[in-house]
Structure 1
Amino acid sequence: MRGLCGWFANRPVDDGAQVVPRMLANYHGTVQDIVSAHQPQAGLAAFGAPARPVLLEHDGFVLLVAGHPRLRGSDRSAIDLPALVRRLRESGKDALAALGGDFALAAWDGQRQRGLLAVDRLGIHQLMVARPAASLVFGSTLDLLFGHEGVPRQLSPQGIFDYLYYHVTPGPDTIYAGLQRLAPGHCIEFGPQGAGPAAPYWTMRFTEERGRSVDELKQEFVGLLRDAVREASSGVDAFGAFLSGGTDSSTVSGTLGQVSGRPARTFSIGFDVPGYDETEYARIAARHFGTEHHEYYVTPNDVVESLPRIAASYDQPFGNASAVPTYHCARVAREHGVTRLLAGDGGDELFGGNERYAKQHLLGLYQRVPAPLRRFVVEPLLAAPGVGAVPPLRKLRSYVEQARPPMPLRYESYNLLQHFGVPQMFTPEFLATVDAHHPSSLLADAYAPFKDASLINQMLAIDMRFILADGDLPKVSHMCNLAGVDVAFPLMDDRIIDFSGRLPDELKLRGTQLRWFFKQALLDFLPPEIITKKKHGFGLPVGHWLIAHEPLFDLANDSIERLRPRGIVRPEFVRQLLDVKLREHPGYYGVMVWVLMMLGLWLDSRKL
């Protein structure tokens, strides 16, 4: 496993040389291949394999970089680190604008007693931070922070509530009070007066340039895609790719074989459950591109056996069930000698591939109806007694009810807590300690910078934060980390991000046609079955297995039962969920069972 950690202080620390070793000793995993540096007012260290971080010292300046940074505008995949040191020393955070790729960075200028922390544009790498008196403590995980004696370990009720709302703990806050995660594209400067606020050095921009033909755009995009995959696979011989059989993973796998000049090694996960197994499409892609393909079928026993370890490996509770198949896929790749996997994440959030985008387009049409007509004619008519007895009017009323809220409130209609009802799920005592509207305020904050963008770009911006940075990226990165495999995300190359920002909105979502341009650009490259299939990925058949596999249900029941003394969730809600609702609709209610189970397992692993 890999990570970095350290501290900055505005005065010399007597036992400063011992701080970083204590932080490393607190890491919830294995530490190897350590590189470190110590000065009177700073300590920095990194560890891990196979992608070992780089530590560079020059004339009192220390630079620590993890990941795969690249210099924007350069054709080289390897960055000139001495040149970066000079830029950082001369320009501070302004030098970050020249960086692309995925990275976490910590720098300390011993001459000026100044420090800098930064993470990449989409948050592929993470840095957690604490602000004890006159110092700044940082680490790739929260566990590392607790090795510093000035950092308290106190659970945040708000963090627990936000986790149960989003199924992850959304940034910038964490599950612990007072500790934060550095947001994507952000940095923190440290100086004689202490640590400044986290500030963006980059933000997503949607310029929607028009006037170029689709053929011209296609040529540019395919060139960027090949460059990104080539660079993501450079520097290692034993590389491979996730292959779910979806558009993104098939694109990355096919391009990998193309740019490497040899069959790509691809890895897929299957489930022996109708409606969940996607190996047929993975095989279609593997045959089409001539990959060296490997499959593994995850079983309920695999889940029961690996789940406690997976839950404990995260530094916060993580409720996305697809972490389990992701781990097993990465594990199989590692067993076949692969040291770096290429993942297809990011395509949906850059080019408009999620099903809800089409639904939100249809709901958004209602806002085009003149407000007086909506308020004084349509809505009173549909609220009249007896309307529910007429099927077409009942359907229209349902549409209007979903379409009435403006963005971003309309985006919350998918949330499980909105369906359950917050007072019905949580105890009054717990609710008294939290702000039940906090998740909505986070959504509003994410939406605000893009309120004047087109609807599809508003949704993409929101999902870059809540789906990618908070969910999918930690899922894939951490599970690969746990399996001992490095991971790269070529579709999130900064050049492709820039291209997405310039792409006209109508080419991303054409009516209800998802990722229209992406598919047009790859029409002659991907198999037709992949082009036309619906999105799926490595979704776990949670509800089905909870009902059909007694050991998994027992694990869930026992884990959730351990939450009872904490007084978070109403006992009657839990019993109704497990004994009645789960069996009525396993696919729907199984999600909340899983989310509660993962919370219980994680709390138990931390002895909290």
Structure 2
Amino acid sequence: MCGLAGLFLPRQANVVEARLDAMVGALRHRGPDGQKTWVSDDRRYQAGFARLAIIDLETGDQPMVESSGSNARVLMGNGEIYNYVELRAREAGYRFRSEGDMEVVLPLARRMGPDFVDVLNGIYALALYESEPHRLTLVRDRLGAKPLYWAKTAGGGVLFASEIKALFASGLITPAIDEAAVSSYLAHGYVPAPDTLYKGVRKLAPGHRMIVSAEGAISIERYWQPAPDQKPLTHPVEARERLLELMRDAVRLQLRSDVPLGALLSGGLDSGMIVALAAETLDRPLHTYTVRFEGAAVDEAPLAAEVAARYGTTHTTFDLETADVGAQLPSLAWYADEPLFDATLLPNYLITKELAGSVKVALSGTGGDELFAGYPRYFPKPIEQAYVRTPQFLRQHLIEPAIRQVSPMTAWQLARVRNLGGNRGAYLFEHSTLFPPPMRTLIGNRALPPDSRQAAAFDDFVRVAPSTDLQTGGLAAEMTTALSEDLLALLDRTTMAAGVEGRVPLLDHRLVGAALSVPESVRTPGGHAKALQRDIAREFLPSAVINAPKQGFASPVAAWFGDELGSQALRILTRRETLARGWWTQGGIDALFTDVNRHGARIYALLMLELAIRIHVEDGSHDTAPTAGLAEFAEAA
């Protein structure tokens, strides 16, 4: 993986200089193997790149420049094109200057125009500049594994970069918070694309491309969306065989690397299958890594060790102590740019730092729950189903008002169940709400209420569900919301912070289409989560892994905030300047801390939001991650 940054100026705009070296410097952690810039003669295109060398270590430097007379085509790509070997073979008439994966985009784009993305299999963020007709094309991969941000400058130029901090480092835009985005974050635990936490900064959504013309006109279109294949997989045997075939091929392609490679192993089905299929393909032992948490109620390390022993991997278990949390959270807030409510950010980062000494590529099982329906919210509880059948008049005018007097949170939970009947997308949206209305009241939130943009993030449910089933619609919706904004963002930031490339074989787009073509009755017969995946995995994984309940890669946040770390977080969240924003009150924060077992995740989410604002807006730390820990931030509060 790498980091890219640049500035495109329309022909009529005044020429301005981006602090290109500073932009690239802000991305150095993404590309520690070398940095390079390219500027057009008229200075209307300024590009910089930080490289993490994975394939073609000698000649794969970027930006890649192809010149023909007065015309220059300049390519930068963050990520990997996994099927580059096959694509290069199809472009036999092109004179390649490297042995790498990214260069194949140049002949493809010349021959196919913007539709070249249709033949790519990979994770990527691309920037292609053509001096004639002076045009910039930005592309983000189908599921958003690689980030790409952009912003307009005062003079009409377009800044773009792999991370938001690089945009700020340009000196052409000023960091400021978008309060509507804060409301989105409180709703979801992330800010859905195309918005970000910061005013004027946009993220290119997954599966989208953006073209900026010579006159500065911007067009953005969606080139791919998660949808079932045309041929449904309605028979269990057919579904198992087809999905296993695609898993095998995805792993085969993603094992292509010129540097050492390993895998993150949690002890669950998803990462276990990746390790099993990789081990049967490789002719050498695979390096595998597991993290164990101090104070955690669940320990999957024994299951991971069982899988590792079965496949003869070189296995390492890393122990995370509570003391590491306070020392690392501020720097993680810097790496993440936008706050991520997911508390597995820290263990993922620490385990990646651990493996960085041995490997530069890490396979991850991310995406399995979205492919095979692994989350409880896909399976309404019997009491919820019974409540839907209760007459509407009784629900809305008697039951809910009475319960609201005793427990607003319970009343809200009952009210959202109404959506089960005809709008499962809204039900899933409400299930993912981090601070629902009763919680906003509790903390004294006066920020803007949730708006239509937040519900619109789940439009893929409305698009897919009518032609399939409610569960499949929910899976498709989450693939372009929580998957990209939380899980894939987390994987990108934590691996890139350690100079490691994270790969996600289960999110090969061919596998996604096939998995969505499986009906709910085959995917989860009898309402059993991941039943189809368990059947596929039986010949590969120990029975203890197959039969284990879903536990997830959870962090013991309640234990984190129960002692000194909690005191530090409380001081940071109740700083005078922080309370003055009106997003929460002293009493509201105190209420959360009275029950950290219940509200630990919410405390963590607010803390990461506050750290992002302190670091990126108030302190303006764009060049390097802060060295101060949480204790120092609390002292300065």
User: In which range does the TM-score fall when normalised by the shorter chain?
Assistant: 0.7 to 0.9
User: 265, 288, 297: which one pairs with 1:243?
Assistant: 265
CA–CA distance in structure 2, aligned partners of residues 228 and 151 of structure 1: 40
CA–CA distance in structure 1, aligned partners of residues 264 and 535 of structure 2: 23
Shift of 1:419: 5.9
Distance 1:265 1:201, change over 3 A: same
Amino acid at match of 1:404: R
- Alpha-carbon displacement from aligned partner over 1:9-35 (angstroms, at most 9, x marks no partner): 222877667542343245585864113
Distance 1:53 1:117, change over 3 A: farther
Corresponding residue for residue 346 of structure 1: 367
User: 56, 66, 85: which one pairs with 2:106?
Assistant: 85
User: 202, 211, 231: which one pairs with 1:189?
Assistant: 211
CA–CA distance in structure 2, aligned partners of residues 150 and 361 of structure 1: 55
Is contact 1:346-1:492 (8 Å) kept? yes
User: 112, 116, 126: which one pairs with 2:137?
Assistant: 116
Shift of 1:463: 1.4
Structure 1: any 5+ residue segments left out of the alignment? 390-395
> Identity of counterpart residues, as a percentage?
24
Is contact 1:230-1:260 (8 Å) kept? no
User: 72, 76, 79: which one pairs with 1:64?
Assistant: 76
Shift of 1:106: 0.4
Amino acid at match of 2:298: Y
Choose 507-516 or 338-347, whichever is displaced more. Answer: 507-516
Say if 2:304 is the partner of 1:282. Answer: yes
Corresponding residue for residue 202 of structure 2: 180
Corresponding residue for residue 433 of structure 2: 415
Shift of 1:362: 8.1
Is contact 1:276-1:541 (8 Å) kept? no
Amino acid at match of 1:544: A
The number of equivalent residue pairs is 585
Amino acid at match of 1:255: L
CA–CA distance in structure 1, aligned partners of residues 23 and 509 of structure 2: 32
Say if 2:568 is the partner of 1:590. Answer: no
Is contact 1:26-1:146 (8 Å) kept? no
Distance 1:332 1:409, change over 3 A: same
Distance 1:3 1:83, change over 3 A: closer
Distance 1:112 1:536, change over 3 A: same
Amino acid at match of 2:586: P
Shift of 1:404: 1.4
Corresponding residue for residue 49 of structure 2: 46
Is contact 1:53-1:64 (8 Å) kept? no
User: 327, 343, 347: which one pairs with 1:325?
Assistant: 347
User: 533, 557, 560: which one pairs with 2:548?
Assistant: 533
| SS at 2:525 equivalent | coil
Shift of 1:436: 2.8
Shift of 1:589: 0.6
Corresponding residue for residue 21 of structure 2: 21
Shift of 1:462: 2.1
Amino acid at match of 1:471: D
Corresponding residue for residue 393 of structure 1: none
User: 586, 589, 595: which one pairs with 1:581?
Assistant: 595
Corresponding residue for residue 37 of structure 1: 38
TM-score for both structures, normalised by structure 2: 0.84
Distance 1:222 1:50, change over 3 A: same
TM-score for both structures, normalised by structure 1: 0.88
| SS at 2:495 equivalent | helix
Is contact 1:2-1:49 (8 Å) kept? yes
Amino acid at match of 1:495: R
- Alpha-carbon displacement from aligned partner over 1:462-501 (angstroms, at most 9, x marks no partner): 2112221100111111111112211111111122122223
Corresponding residue for residue 123 of structure 2: 102
Say if 2:578 is the partner of 1:560. Answer: no
Amino acid at match of 2:274: V
Amino acid at match of 1:191: S
| Structural mapping, 1:438-453, within 5 Å | 438=452, 440-452=454-466, 453=468
CA–CA distance in structure 2, aligned partners of residues 598 and 112 of structure 1: 43
Corresponding residue for residue 622 of structure 2: none
Distance 1:444 1:489, change over 3 A: closer
| SS at 2:121 equivalent | strand
Is contact 1:363-1:402 (8 Å) kept? no
Corresponding residue for residue 180 of structure 2: 158
Corresponding residue for residue 9 of structure 1: 9
CA–CA distance in structure 1, aligned partners of residues 249 and 534 of structure 2: 19
Shift of 1:44: 1.9
Shift of 1:124: 0.4
Corresponding residue for residue 610 of structure 2: 600
Shift of 1:284: 1.9
Shift of 1:346: 0.5
CA–CA distance in structure 1, aligned partners of residues 381 and 4 of structure 2: 40
| Structural mapping, 1:120-131, within 5 Å | 120-131=141-152
CA–CA distance in structure 1, aligned partners of residues 248 and 461 of structure 2: 32
Shift of 1:182: 0.4
Choose 74-83 or 147-156, whichever is displaced more. Answer: 74-83
Choose 77-86 or 147-156, whichever is displaced more. Answer: 77-86
Is contact 1:100-1:121 (8 Å) kept? no
Corresponding residue for residue 627 of structure 2: none
CA–CA distance in structure 2, aligned partners of residues 150 and 384 of structure 1: 52
Amino acid at match of 2:368: G
CA–CA distance in structure 2, aligned partners of residues 535 and 71 of structure 1: 33
CA–CA distance in structure 1, aligned partners of residues 167 and 48 of structure 2: 13
Amino acid at match of 2:425: P
Corresponding residue for residue 477 of structure 1: 492
| SS at 1:146 equivalent | helix
Choose 52-61 or 27-36, whichever is displaced more. Answer: 27-36
CA–CA distance in structure 1, aligned partners of residues 328 and 231 of structure 2: 48
Distance 1:427 1:319, change over 3 A: closer
Shift of 1:438: 4.5
| SS at 1:359 equivalent | coil
Corresponding residue for residue 520 of structure 2: 505
Is contact 2:263-2:275 (8 Å) kept? yes
Corresponding residue for residue 628 of structure 2: none
Say if 2:286 is the partner of 1:264. Answer: yes
Amino acid at match of 2:541: L
Say if 2:438 is the partner of 1:425. Answer: no
CA–CA distance in structure 2, aligned partners of residues 172 and 346 of structure 1: 21
CA–CA distance in structure 2, aligned partners of residues 90 and 208 of structure 1: 27
Distance 1:198 1:360, change over 3 A: farther
Shift of 1:341: 0.6
CA–CA distance in structure 2, aligned partners of residues 381 and 308 of structure 1: 48
| SS at 1:263 equivalent | coil
Shift of 1:189: 0.6
- Alpha-carbon displacement from aligned partner over 1:117-153 (angstroms, at most 9, x marks no partner): 0010000001001123432210011111123344232
Is contact 1:169-1:318 (8 Å) kept? no
Distance 1:521 1:54, change over 3 A: farther
Shift of 1:325: 0.7
Is contact 1:185-1:200 (8 Å) kept? yes
Distance 1:527 1:4, change over 3 A: same
Is contact 1:363-1:399 (8 Å) kept? no
| SS at 1:326 equivalent | helix
Shift of 1:460: 0.6
Shift of 1:108: 0.7
Is contact 2:20-2:46 (8 Å) kept? yes
Corresponding residue for residue 359 of structure 1: 380
CA–CA distance in structure 2, aligned partners of residues 262 and 23 of structure 1: 39
- Alpha-carbon displacement from aligned partner over 1:164-217 (angstroms, at most 9, x marks no partner): 222222221011112110000001011123142321011111247346643333
Is contact 1:278-1:537 (8 Å) kept? no
